[in-house]
Amino acid sequence: MPSPQDTHCPYCALQCGMRLTRSGSTAQVGARDFPTNRGGLCRKGWTAAEVLTVGDRVTTPLVRDQHGALAPAPWDRALDRVAEGLVAAQARHGRDAVGVFGGGGLTNEKAYQLGKFARVALRTSRIDYNGRFCMASAAAAGNRALGVDRGLPFPVTDLDEASTVLLLGSNPAATMPPLLSHLQGARDRGGLVVVDPRRSQTARLTEQGAGLHLAPAPGTDLVLLLGLTHVVLAEGLADEAYLRERTEGLETVRPVVNAWWPERVQAVTGVPAAEVRRVARRLAARDGVYVLTGRGVEQHVDGTDTATAALNLALVLGLVGRVGSGYGTLTGQGNGQGGREHGQKCDQLPGYRSISDPAAREHVAGVWGVDPADLPGPGVPAVELLGSLGRPGGVRALLVHGSNVVVSAPAAGEVRAGLAALDLLVVCDFVLSETAQLADVVLPVTQWAEEEGTMTSLEGRVLRRRAVLEPPGLARSDLWVLAELAARLGAAGAWPTEPAIVFDELARASAGGVADYSGLSHALLDTGVAAYWPCPAPAAPAPGAPGAAAPAPDAPAPATPAVVGTPRLFTDTFPRPGGRARLVPVRPLLREPVGQRGGELTMVTGRLLEHYQSGAQTRRVPELMAAQPVLAAELHPATAARLGLRDGDPMLVSTDRGRVRARTRLDEGIRLDTVFLPFHYSGPECTNLLTEAVTDPVSGMPEFKRTLVTVSPLDPPDRTPSAPADRTPSAPAEERPS
């Protein structure tokens, strides 16, 4: 049997350590002792190998024939069809008539090459990715306040010694269960504070003296954060020395928070004033205090401002850059961090450089071997890009890599209609996802256990992904696909297909950028070193300087360090003018409260333990599908009774954009005015048929967490009971023998 390979889970950004062993045509999964997961995996991780051999795996190119069916085709024919369609679309409608949509699950090498392909081979500005649905608001807030966007600016193991963790809008018990082991210290000290409108699995961990659950009305998290900051400033709990020495802008923030005393906060959010004061005073202990945000507070039209308010609170407390305390955001997708650093975002070049910066354009163009003037300018965010599909002046041909927009995008019905109006839709995937089923051409690509590459975890750690299997059938890497298309399009520059060579080019392109990978390589990462960006290449000594001479032939090779790069950011300075963090004044929108008008409720969306993203992978795993087979809508029993619904009843959830069918799931831990729907299902259970394509004006992130819906029974009622809701908090990680 081949020797096991150390690699990482293909799902969330925790990137748990795995050990894979080839077993015939598939692989066996074993956990390993890696800092994030410590030998445990969640249900998704343990069953990850099952996706490698699903029955509808795409193993040959598919091209839609004259009868409207997807039929097998040789690679040359499929690629020629794609290239001809791209050229025709741009000849008729201009370069921006071709769009590219990427994904936060692509390796760094693929994400980098996809961004390069858009700017060099297609010369289109119309590129963005599904990370816009996930991390954009936290990224925008981090950039403007701290000068950099990294999910956790410290290793996740730092959380082990926390005394207090304020967790806003995140449910890691369902989304990344192994993280819970790092929160156990805060729980033991009674300091886990969870902010969520529902008593999620994570919120339940605060019971029995382990912490506190705050349940603000959906969309009012910004007000709550202003109230916490008010108490810190009003009661003299701020770190005045830190504010004076390391920040600027306090004078602009103070007048805004002065208006949000706890009783006023209570009137808007529903969180008792006493709890606002209690939490603020506990946070003021400073040592061992962390403020962490997630999508629940960010997926709003004021998500950037809400994330900024959380940052302001952390800065006023002096937490950011303090060893043993800190601020961070919990990145969701497997390579959500690296995927946005190297060119998939519409306004960025590799190294987290601005595409509008002349110096950045010149540097990257030099690496690519093109004229900087030939690079396009900034494009448009994902929701705007998808909204332009098939429309005059919009995108007429679309390439999709690693995303399932028919399920994951807001206003999914409108997205489906836009895809149908395209002249050409090309999808690179390993299964026939709902988006791939609509394509004119489907190109079969490799999965995680079949490819080499790198991923970047939520803590900014660059990790090696390793192959243990040969790709099935005619499946090829996205790198190969892009190189073949680049050749057909006559693109300038080199288009390597070996991941290590692509990474070396990525490293050169990122050199000097905020996310500098220039000191890294596959060879270095293969030594087992812990590598965190920024990790610039060491400067070569000047001729004649000490160290410039060649080492003696018999001199021992220098030892590889255990850690390279920057595991902890901000300990000395911030990458902003003057080296200071900036406090930014933000004000709540104070929109009219919604919910409880007849059958109207506020819908919030989120994830389940057993499923991931659009469900294209996990809905194909029998064990996971059996655990959560259908869309279930979570309601408070009193709300359900008012609407004539019992546990297990079918219901209809509607907006003016669409309607979905769901089963009723009763839970006393959710607010009376709220209904929770997971977003992993498709067809008539696709939750994003209901959401609206409204976005944060700064980040372009959609508002997934505050949709006014109408809930009603489906007649005749089906009284077949559904599986009862799990009332037990998830363990930190499921333990199985490896």
**Same domain membership, residue 120 and residue 27:** no
Please name the residue ranges forming H helices in 377-519: 382-387, 405-408, 412-420, 478-488, 499-510
**Same domain membership, residue 213 and residue 313:** yes
Rg (CA), the chain: 25
- Domain assignment present for 574: no
N- to C-terminal Cα separation, the chain: 16
| Rounded Cα–Cα distance for residues 182 and 165 (Å) | 11
| Rounded Cα–Cα distance for residues 116 and 495 (Å) | 10
Instruction: Note the pLDDT tens digit of each residue in 337-355.
Output: 998 899 999 999 999 999 9
Number of structural domains in the chain: 4
Instruction: Note the pLDDT tens digit of each residue in 597-639.
Output: 567 999 999 999 999 999 999 999 999 999 999 999 999 999 9
Query: Does residue 360 surpass a pLDDT of 90?
Result: yes
Where among 295, 330, 365 does a domain terminate? Answer: 330
| Rounded Cα–Cα distance for residues 104 and 338 (Å) | 8
Q: Tell me the pLDDT band of 725, cut-offs 50, 70 and 90.
A: very low
**Same domain membership, residue 178 and residue 309:** yes
Q: What pLDDT sits at residue 734?
A: 39
Where among 510, 543, 564 does a domain terminate? Answer: 510
Show the domain range for 501.
62-129+343-510
**Same domain membership, residue 166 and residue 40:** no
Q: What pLDDT sits at residue 597?
A: 57
| Complete DSSP assignment for 424-442 | EEEEEESB--TTGGG-SEE
Q: Tell me the pLDDT band of 710, cut-offs 50, 70 and 90.
A: very high
CB proximity list for 317: less than 8 A, separation 6 or greater: 232, 237, 238, 239, 283, 284, 286, 289, 291
Query: Does residue 737 surpass a pLDDT of 60?
Result: no
Query: Does residue 648 surpass a pLDDT of 90?
Result: yes
**Same domain membership, residue 433 and residue 305:** no
In this structure, what CATH number is given to the domain that contains residue 635?
2.40.40.20
Q: What pLDDT sits at residue 716?
A: 53
Instruction: Note the pLDDT tens digit of each residue in 146-197.
Output: 999 999 999 999 999 999 999 999 999 999 999 999 999 999 999 999 999 9
Paired strand residues for 5: 20
Q: What pLDDT sits at residue 26?
A: 85
Tokens matching residue 415: 């997205």
| Rounded Cα–Cα distance for residues 226 and 213 (Å) | 18
Phi/psi at 88 (nearest 5 deg)? -65, -40
Instruction: Tell me the average pLDDT across 373-383.
Output: 97
- Domain assignment present for 558: no
| Rounded Cα–Cα distance for residues 248 and 242 (Å) | 10
**Same domain membership, residue 243 and residue 354:** no
- Domain assignment present for 163: yes
**Same domain membership, residue 308 and residue 206:** yes
**Same domain membership, residue 643 and residue 685:** yes
Q: Which residue has the tokens 């306004």?
A: 347
Mean pLDDT of the chain: 93
**Same domain membership, residue 440 and residue 371:** yes
Grouping H, G, I as helix, E, B as strand and the rest as coil, residue 600 is: strand
Where among 268, 297, 330 does a domain terminate? Answer: 330
Query: Does residue 718 surpass a pLDDT of 50?
Result: no
Phi/psi at 606 (nearest 5 deg)? -175, -160
- Domain assignment present for 728: no
| Rounded Cα–Cα distance for residues 534 and 460 (Å) | 8
Query: Does residue 553 surpass a pLDDT of 70?
Result: no
Instruction: Note the pLDDT tens digit of each residue in 568-589.
Output: 999 999 999 999 999 999 999 8
Q: Which residue has the tokens 């081979």?
A: 121
**Same domain membership, residue 350 and residue 302:** no
Q: What is the DSSP letter of 117?
A: I
- Domain assignment present for 722: no
- Domain assignment present for 359: yes
**Same domain membership, residue 497 and residue 405:** yes
285 vs 542: which has the higher pLDDT = 285
| Rounded Cα–Cα distance for residues 292 and 308 (Å) | 12
Instruction: Tell me the average pLDDT across 57-82.
Output: 97
- Domain assignment present for 271: yes
Percent residues over pLDDT 70 in the chain: 93
Q: What pLDDT sits at residue 548?
A: 53
Q: What pLDDT sits at residue 735?
A: 34
Instruction: Note the pLDDT tens digit of each residue in 524-548.
Output: 999 999 999 999 999 766 556 555 5
Instruction: Tell me the average pLDDT across 263-268.
Output: 97
- Domain assignment present for 190: yes
**Same domain membership, residue 700 and residue 609:** yes
In this structure, what CATH number is given to the domain that contains residue 222?
3.40.228.10
Query: Which run of H or E residues covers position 708?
Result: strand 707-713
Query: Does residue 318 surpass a pLDDT of 90?
Result: yes
